[in-house]
Chain A
Amino acid sequence: MTETIALIKSLADRYGRTRDALMPILQGVVEEERYLSDVAMTEIARELDIAAAEVYGTATFYSFLDTVPRGKYVIRVCKTITCDMHGKKRVIEKIEDLLKIKLGETTQDKKFTLLTTNCLGWCHKGPVMLINNTPYPDLNEDKVTEIIMEYIRK
């Protein structure tokens, strides 16, 4: 908790304490802690001197600003039309199989969360997924297995 508070203070020192600093601060917290806890949101509200409801309202608008705990590695598979045409379903099933979780869930050891997202801008090389900040295009069952196994070993 003290770590979270210190993090928020340093982010506010860097981005300022005006309303337009809110997004960079929220993104900074997610970058470090993978999600926005209640503690983090109330602390940001205090630091910027705005209502906690405002912080919550903004955070919950954006799909990348998670307000529930996420794994260390957040996997987002594109579910949009061209990736669907090229077999995103089999890729998702393979990941579910490998990690023994269903879409939307986080593994027990808090290492992986599996989500879907809309078009990632790699439509010519679908299916594609994002693991934290790294895109992996041209997936098939073998390739996704290789990548996930590598992360499991990390």
Chain B
Amino acid sequence: MTKHKQIRIALRNCGVIDPQAIGEYIARDGYQALATCLTKMTPEEVIDQIKKSGLRGRGGGGFPTGLKFEITRKSVSDQKYVVCNADEGDPGAFMDRSILEGDPHSVIEAMAICGYCIGADKGLVYIRAEYPLAIERLKIALEQAREMGLLGKNIFNTGFSFDIELRYGAGAFVCGEETALIHSMEGLRGEPTFKPPFPSVSGYLGKPTNVNNVETFANIPVIINKGAGWFSAIGTEKSKGTKVFALAGKINNVGLIEVPMGTTLREVIYEIGGGIRNGKKFKAVQTGGPSGGCLTEKHLDTPIDYDNLIAAGSMMGSGGMIVMDEDNCMVAVAKFYLDFTVDESCGKCAPCRIGNKRLYELLDKITQGKATMEDISNLKNLCTVIRDASLCGLGQTSSNPVLSTLDNFYDEYIGHVVDHKCAAGQCKALMKYVVIDENCVGCTACARNCPVNAISGEKKQVHFIHQDICIKCGACYDRCKFNAIEIQ
């Protein structure tokens, strides 16, 4: 419906141009910004424009991009690098993939601009192996840019040289963290290291390295072409421009949207997203992936920007939004994220490696209906310990999904612990299949289909489900034609 709420900056060319034809990118002002920077502006002037635009990193942290350029520029070294972080791995996020598949030149152009600003002639894109099409499109785009002299030696006859190499991830989420990413490119295990030193000072092979996210880069050519003032007029006081969000889950219109910072969750979910699927009731939206938290009914009118999301106990992350409805158990949701974290923790530090495993076990115990109130208070304590004692962002934020569901859905936790009930009916261990005596005609369909023979009863007699044998597969429920089986 209200398409006018969307403004496309990072996605300006996605779906509009043929990403494999550089001419189409150029026809839409492509490489204009690079030409302007190289021929009409000093690196300092370019950095100044980016600083004034208010652009902040779209990879999660929200660090001011112009300031990062400036720090890397001021680091003295014989060699510097520009790195594009395309290791997108947050569950629910797919904007970086879409930009690289739909508009690879916007990232290439911006990386060259960054090289000019910081004084680097070499760029690297670290892209996850799970994105074969994006890799293919990038390769073609790089080839075409080189052919046209937009990459390589002496670009636009200005003496500035720049080229880009691709490096591939190998299925490790933590490599999205910038120090881990750099170690992975160095041929080491992708384990994060303590910051400082920041990559801007000492990064790839010990040299100053400017790491930015795909979407961050995609904004830069537009800022140069249209001016910092134009960009900073969009958005909120401290979060400028637009943000791409990936809508997924129980929402009618799934896919990518790009809206000004400060758009409310209500506008995103109901006006652009078309509301909740199947007329169900909205329950929560998880933003920020495994580092984030959930926003609920009471946050619907909060303007979305970096600071408001943090104040609401979540975070921007890369912009994935997973929408939950009344059928989602929030304890199970938290458990899901912890399962992810346990998988993806690099194992370097104990609070994250062991603590998250214990968190997962506690959550599992709750969903089994075997937990006590003491477990809930242990859960909270453990969350703070992991947050305070972990080395990198993964461990420091992994407890957010737990803390935020505890905050917003404490009743659900209590329901599992005290009443042994899962209100959403999602936790199998707390469900019971029982025969409704009045409806049962004794057709025996359920008993014949039960894989574990948990149902007894003679023909034309009321049947009975033995709860100690039942594995809750639901076969009887599906087979009964007389609505004689209910889930309690």
Interface residues, chain A, with chain B CB atoms under 8 Å away: 18-24, 26-27, 57-58, 61-65, 80-82, 84-85, 117-126, 130, 133-135
Contact = CB atoms under 8 A, between A and B. Distances in A.
A58 B188 contact: yes
Contacts of B96: 121
Interface string B129-154: 11111000000000000000000000
Contact of A27 (B129, B132, B246): B129
B122 to A, nearest CB: 12
A133 to B, nearest CB: 4
Contacts of B254: 124-125
Contact of A20 (B168, B169, B186, B286): B186
21 contacts: A23-B167, A27-B168, A57-B189, A58-B187, A62-B170, A64-B169, A64-B170, A64-B171, A65-B170, A65-B171, A80-B336, A81-B91, A81-B322, A82-B248, A82-B322, A118-B89, A119-B91, A122-B94, A123-B248, A124-B246, A125-B254
A118 B170 CA distance: 12
Ranked 4 nearest A-B pairs via Cβ? A22-B187, A62-B170, A64-B171, A124-B254
B250 A85 contact: yes
Nearest to A123: B248
B240 interface: no
Given A23-B184, A123-B246, A81 B170 contact: no
B91 A82 contact: yes
A24 B167 CA distance: 8
A82 B96 CA distance: 18
A62 B167 CA distance: 14
Interface residues of B, number: 48
A23 B307 CA distance: 38
Nearest to A116: B343
Interface of B: 88-94, 96-97, 129-133, 167-173, 184-191, 205, 246-250, 254-255, 286, 320, 322, 328, 333, 336-337, 340, 343-344, 346
B344 to A, nearest CB: 7
Given A20-B205, A122-B94, A123-B320, A62 B172 contact: yes
A135 to B, nearest CB: 7
Contacts of B170: 23, 26-27, 62-65
Nearest to A23: B187
A82 B97 CA distance: 17
Given A64-B171, A81-B333, A85-B250, A119 B92 contact: yes
A120 B343 CA distance: 15
B127 to A, nearest CB: 11
Given A23-B168, A61-B189, A123-B246, 18 more contacts: A21-B187, A23-B170, A23-B187, A26-B170, A58-B187, A62-B171, A64-B170, A80-B336, A81-B322, A82-B92, A82-B249, A82-B322, A118-B91, A120-B130, A121-B94, A121-B97, A124-B254, A125-B254
Contacts of B191: 61
A118 B336 contact: no
Nearest to A18: B187
B168 to A, nearest CB: 6
A121 B336 CA distance: 17
A153 B454 CA distance: 40
A23 B246 CA distance: 31
Contacts of B246: 123-124
B131 A121 contact: yes
Nearest to A117: B171
Residue with the highest number of chain B CB atoms closer than 10 Å, among A120, A121, A124: A121
Contacts of B249: 82, 85, 123
B94 A130 contact: no
A124 B248 contact: yes
A134 B132 contact: yes
Given A27-B168, A64-B129, A123-B92, A19 B186 contact: yes
Nearest to A64: B171
Contacts of B169: 62, 64
Contacts of A80: 91, 336, 340
A33 B337 CA distance: 33
B130 A58 contact: no
Contacts of A65: 170-171
A56 B337 CA distance: 29
A24 B133 CA distance: 18
B129 A124 contact: no
Contacts of B205: 20
Contacts of B132: 133-135
Contacts of B188: 19, 58
A126 B322 CA distance: 12
B348 to A, nearest CB: 11
Given A63-B171, A81-B333, A124 B94 contact: yes
A31 B169 CA distance: 13
A18 B324 CA distance: 48
A152 B132 CA distance: 22
A117 B131 CA distance: 14
A118 B344 contact: yes
Contact of B337 (A23, A26, A81): A81
Contacts of B97: 121
A31 B164 CA distance: 23
A120 B129 CA distance: 10
A135 B249 CA distance: 19
Nearest to A55: B187
A58 B189 contact: yes
A38 B23 CA distance: 48
B284 to A, nearest CB: 12
A136 to B, nearest CB: 12
